[in-house]
Amino acid sequence: MAKRKTKFVCQECGYESMKWMGKCPGCQNWNTMVEEFTAPAATAKSRGYVTSAASISSPQPITKIERKEEQRINCHINELNRVLGGGIVPGSLVLVGGDPGIGKSTLLLQVSGELAKHGQKVLYISGEESVKQTKLRADRLAIAADELFVLAETDVELIEKAIDNINPMLVIIDSIQTVYLDGVSSAPGSVSQVRESTAAFMRIAKTKGIAIFIVGHVTKQGAIAGPRLLEHMVDSVLYFEGERHHTYRILRAVKNRFGSTNEIGIFEMKEVGLEEVLNPSEIFLEERSAGTSGSAVVASMEGTRTVLVEIQALISPTSFGNPRRMATGIDHNRISLIMAVLEKRVGMLLQNQDAYIKVAGGVRLDEPSIDLAIAVAIASSFRDAPAPPTDVMIGEVGLTGEVRRVSRIDQRVNEAEKLGFKRVIVPEKNLGGWNIPNGIEVIGVNTVNEALEVTIGGASSGSPRFEL
């Protein structure tokens, strides 16, 4: 019998070492090295990962390969279809992560119920709940379909047998941290078990053409628990975001081999489950206060969707030597950059002011077009001069104070016009080449100074105006 070897594996990043260390050299976290045993006899071939030589295909020229369009599966939930790129691809492996209690299991059970209602077999594997507990949640969500099968199991081999017996179109694994393989000696949830179990489900998905959704736990830093290799193995990685004290949830794709990674889906958590938000801009702006300083609206692009959100800023004198810079929903470094531009190019003395910036509604923005709205909100709060509540600011701010062009300006302006806004402040380079909607005024600016004159300091006579 071969001798078992011992190694220490970091449970956060997967770093391996032959001896225990208090601090992981890979991720710099403390007390994450756990002892694991390796069994040389449990090879990849014995676990079924390697096929016979007869089934291995030979290499062929790429010009001889026939292109075949995959028929996607309609989830019957439009927001999820949007994030996945048009629906579920058969044979794909999708990883869904998010904070505890955010609604991952609720969303996947609703998807299972919708597909089963339309006559497609779905197998829901629960490793954290019993079958009766899953039934209670299904009753709360009003899910009752004969094609939805539920199994409480954590053994990967038994799960594979159940998949062979039922032959479903979709399999839900809730969660990957609870399942295990007998050939791996470490405990469920360890790096080795998560890696090998995911490899087994990947083999099942690719060989049988079954779509598999895997639920993954997250660490206290917000990343999916387990090795980083886990995100590289799957076809798509979806993050379910949102504040626990808010009812709105955002499903964001950070990796998608079959679609865009810029799309988001927005849901509202209710007693009967998650409901789609058809017009998120109205939700984010419904509680906006008119005539208050430190507020600006921006039209941000999230994939192919235009979302209008409110950016709030509070500038107040500091009582300490180092002023505070706090941001929610925006990169902290971007706030420091824009404040430096306002101080250098506009002449605002902000070095002795605390700055608190927030994106209302809990959404996170990271595209360059929000720079101008941040600058206007900061200047409005600093001067205590409200910006017109019917204005929308769009533009990227450079280090020299110029306002640079952005993409898809026509879609942004059309969305602002639909929601009743009267003026849109855009980069002057974006003017021309597209049709301006009726009933809205588009003002082009070249610098931040011009934008501030138009919004909080009176209209600038040199700014070109276009109105229909």
Tokens at 213, concatenated: 């959704």
Is residue 206 a known part of a binding site? no
Is residue 457 a known part of a binding site? no
Write out residues in the chain with pLDDT < 50, as ranges: 1, 41-55, 458-468
Q: Please state, in angstroms and rounded to a whole number, the distance separating the CA atoms of residues 238 and 263.
A: 10
Is residue 103 a known part of a binding site? yes
Q: Please state, in angstroms and rounded to a whole number, the distance separating the CA atoms of residues 424 and 298.
A: 9
Is residue 432 a known part of a binding site? no
User: pLDDT value at position 54?
Assistant: 39
Pairing of strands 423-427, 170-174: unpaired
Is residue 461 a known part of a binding site? no
User: pLDDT value at position 46?
Assistant: 46
C-beta contacts of 331-338 below 8 A and 24+ residues apart: 331/366, 334/371, 334/374, 335/374, 337/399, 338/371, 338/374, 338/375, 338/378, 338/397
Of 243, 262, 350, nearest to 305 (Cα)?
Answer: 262
Is residue 104 a known part of a binding site? yes
User: pLDDT value at position 189?
Assistant: 82
CB-count exposure of residue 371 (10 Å: 0-12, 13-18, 19+) = buried
Is residue 102 a known part of a binding site? yes
pTM of the predicted model, to two decimals?
Answer: 0.76
Is residue 98 a known part of a binding site? yes
SS3 at position 29: coil
User: pLDDT value at position 11?
Assistant: 77
User: pLDDT digit string (tens) for 109-158?
Assistant: 999 999 999 999 999 999 989 999 999 999 999 999 999 999 999 999 99
